[in-house]
Structure 1
């Protein structure tokens, strides 16, 4: 299981990553990664970036059957 420092270090090396990528790279369950990322955000060390995928045809994710599946959330360290 990864530590919060390993999460921070991997973000520093990669620049930005999704929680799912961090979970896979560090062999740690995603709920644990999510908690660590939220803690890093609360400490002012990391920030989340929400992006919309270019493939969204309608532009209306609220009515999307996948329920905002086209929105991506990235994490990066604060400078």
Structure 2
């Protein structure tokens, strides 16, 4: 199980990652990673970045039945 310091260090080395990627790399359950990321966000150490849906090539994101499931959420360290 990873600590918040390991999570922060991994984000620092990789630049930006999704919670699922962090979970895989750190061998920690994704709900735990998401809780730690939310805590880092509350402390002002990390921030959530989402892809702009206007960049969708097919234009189908606006009418996506999954509710914009194709929008990816990345985490980066706050500078």
TM-score between both structures, scaled by the size of structure 2? 0.87
Consecutive unaligned residues in structure 1, runs of 5 or more:
none
Consecutive unaligned residues in structure 2, runs of 5 or more:
none
| Distance (Å, rounded) in 2 between the aligned partners of 1:42 and 1:17 | 18
Tell me how large the CA RMSD over aligned residues is: 1.5
Structure with the largest fraction of strand? 1
Structure with the largest fraction of helix? 2
| Distance (Å, rounded) in 1 between the aligned partners of 2:73 and 2:49 | 6
Aligned length in residues? 77
